[in-house]
Amino acid sequence: MLFNVVEIQKILPHRYPFLLVDRITELEHGKSIEGYKNVSISEPVFQGHFPDHPIYPGVMIIEGMAQVGGVLAFQSLPEEEQANIDQKVVYFMSIDKAKFRAPVTPGDKLVYRLNVIKNKGPVWQLDAKAFVDDKVVAQAELKAMIVDK
């Protein structure tokens, strides 16, 4: 484990119920990252999606992948810029080629694996995949940018 949820909250501005990553387990600065979320029946989203057939929403999976990508982008900043990390935020620019391959349900460990396609200054393009039991459940190409708050 590289970062637990408390350490992730020092990097990302997200908080419950919208912090969608529990741990970061691998990180290669500027190249790749892996993290996960344990999906629990106690998630507020399951009150409405769907009460008798709980399915974790695809949009939440995409957001979870984006949050892990945000950790990668922030942790890949030069050290002198990391001192002001609380003054920066990552904004989505685009989501392309999104595909949902299998439903995610309570009890699943949702593993996010992202690889950098391209990084130019504050802009990051990422190949993102989400897995349950080593099976791809969702994937997308994400583009984001680090900006000042």
Active site residues: 49
- Residue 149 has which token pair? 């708050």
Q: Which residues pair with 111 in a beta bridge?
A: 36, 131
Q: How many CB atoms lie within 10 A of CB 25?
A: 15
Taken as a whole, the chain contains a residue count of 149
Residue whose token pair is 């995409």: 62
Chain centroid to Cα 52, Å, comes to 27
Q: Are 89 and 12 in contact (CB under 8 A)?
A: no
Q: Is 63 helix (H, G, I), strand (E, B) or coil?
A: helix
Q: Which residues pair with 139 in a beta bridge?
A: 99, 129
Can the peptide bond before residue 50 be classed as cis, meaning omega within 30 degrees of 0?
yes
